[in-house]
Amino acid sequence: MVIFINYNRYFVFLCYNYVGDIMEYKLTMRSVMDTIELAQNFESEKFSNMIICLNGDLGSGKTLFTKAFANALGVQESVTSPTFNIIKEYDGELPLYHMDVYRLEGNSDNALIEEYFNKGGVVIIEWANMVKDILPEHRLDIKIKIIGENSRVFTIVPHGKKYEDLCEAVL
C-alpha cells in the first residue's frame, strides 16, 4: 500500500513494507528549519526510555536533529557530537543521552551503551547501524539521505507499537 500526503511543508511518502509488515515513512526536508521542526515535533511526544537511532552520511543532519530535539527538551548546554566521548549526558525535562558510536564498529559488545536504554531518559544514537546487534527491538530508526545542498530525505521506521503511535502523532 502506498499513500502520498502533503503535510505542512514536507512531502510525506508512506508505504507498508510487506517484508515483516514494517511501516516506513519518507519525508523530504527542504531546509534546516524543516529538520529542526521535525525534531521538535518528535520531542513533543517524548516518553521515558525513548530510543532514536540516526544514520546518514557525514553532514546529513544527525547532530542538527539532536540539537533541535535537545533544545525543545529544555537542555541549556550547547549540544555537540560526542565523537570522541561516545556518550554525552544532558539535563532537560527528561535526561538526554546523546551517543556517537561511529568508532565502535565491530565492538558492539559494549555493555555501557545498553545500560542507557532503560535509564528513564531519551537516547539518541548517531551512526546506530554500527551497533545494530545491541539495539533494542523497540525503537525509532531514522535514516537521513542528502539529496541537495539543503535538502534531505528522512526515512523513518518505527519498531514497536509505541513508536508506531509516535509516528502517527508526529507525522
pLDDT in tens, 49-91: 999 999 999 999 999 999 999 999 999 999 988 777 789 999 9
Number of domains in the chain: 1
Strand partners, 145: 153
pLDDT for the residue numbered 18: 41
State the average pLDDT for the chain: 86
In the block, which residue shows the cell 531514522? Answer: 142
The CA R_g of the chain, rounded to the nearest whole Å, is: 15
Amino acid found at 160: G
Q: Shortest CA distance to 141 belongs to which of 120, 152, 121, 127?
A: 127
**CB 81 within 8 Å of CB 126:** yes
Q: What is the CATH number of the domain that holds 6?
A: 3.40.50.300
> 125-160: per-residue pLDDT in tens?
999 998 888 999 999 999 999 999 989 999 999 999
Asked if the model's pLDDT at residue 13 lies above 60, the reply is: no
The pLDDT of residue 60:
94
Range scoring the smallest mean pLDDT among 16-30, 56-70, 112-126: 16-30
Strands 152-159 and 122-126: what pairing? unpaired
The Cα–Cα gap between 131 and 70 comes to 23
Q: Which of 92, 110, 90 is nearest to 101 (CA)?
A: 110
* Residue 26: DSSP 8-state: E
- Name the residue range of residue 39's domain: 2-170
Q: Kindly tell me the burial class for residue 51, based on how many C-beta atoms sit within 10 Å of its own C-beta (0-12, 13-18, 19 or more).
A: buried
Q: What is the pLDDT of residue 16?
A: 47
- Give the H or E element holding residue 106: none
Q: What is the pLDDT of residue 22?
A: 78
- Check pLDDT > 60 for residue 17: no
- Provide the pLDDT for residue 152: 94
pLDDT of residue 164: 93
